[in-house]
Amino acid sequence: MHQTNDEEIIRIFREEGNGSRSFALLIDAYQKPIYYFIRKMVLDHDDAADISQNTFIKAWKAFGSFRGESKISSWLYRIAYNESITFINKEKRLGKVRLEDVEEFLSKSLEADVHYNGDEIQKKLQTAMALLPEKQKAVFIMKYFEEKKYVEISEITGTSVGALKASFHLAVKKIEDYLTSH
């Protein structure tokens, strides 16, 4: 199946109503990038898959009210961002992983992951990213890995471009400091 553009997905949705064809096109176009964004936020494959599924369910339920003022990808990333932050905050409240245990948790989690190739620098980078505050982590992921422009990240997070630039700069500095000291 070819990569479908936003206009085509919206057109098919409006023509067919809440049909499965437009949902399949939405999934086909955005499932991988949304999953990988979430995966970098929460690290665990199963958690990322669950959050990704929740993201698309919420998006589908609200798709009829999508006004098209932003790109579908920005809208989906905003839902994924909010779902990821909610999940992370819930995990913190439940005390599942204490900050001082992050390195050990990441090491075990990455080594158990079938997608992890054992690269030590990858593990260090993931650990450094995990130690960032959630917003800095999200900004770093979207800017560095997803190569999004600050304007789009602003739409996704609801944060000013200036604040995003500062968050990205701080995230890069913290990651550099961690990588040089470990």
Question: pLDDT at position 1, please?
Answer: 37
Q: Give the torsion through C-alpha atoms of 68, 143, 83, 71, to 10 deg.
A: 10
The whole-number average pLDDT for the span 76-100 is: 82
| pLDDT mean across residues, the chain | 84
Write out pLDDT tens, residues 90-146: 887 777 655 555 555 555 665 556 555 667 777 788 888 888 999 999 999 999 999
The whole-number average pLDDT for the span 22-50 is: 91
**Gap between the Cα atoms of 172 and 135, Å rounded:** 13
List the single range of 12-21, 39-48, 55-64, 168-177 with lowest mean pLDDT. 12-21
CATH architecture of residue range(s) 1-96: Orthogonal Bundle (1.10)
69-90 burial, b at 16+ Cβ within 10 Å, e below that, comes to ebebbbbbbbbbbebbbebbee
Question: pLDDT at position 121, please?
Answer: 79
Q: Which residues, 6+ apart, have CB-to-CB distance to 69 below 8 Å? A: none
The two structure tokens encoding residue 5: 């553009």
Enumerate the domain spans of the chain: 1-96
Of residues 37 and 98, more confidently modeled? 37
As a 3-state breakdown, the chain gives helix, strand, coil percent values, each rounded to 5, of 80, 0, 20
| % of the chain at pLDDT higher than 70 | 83
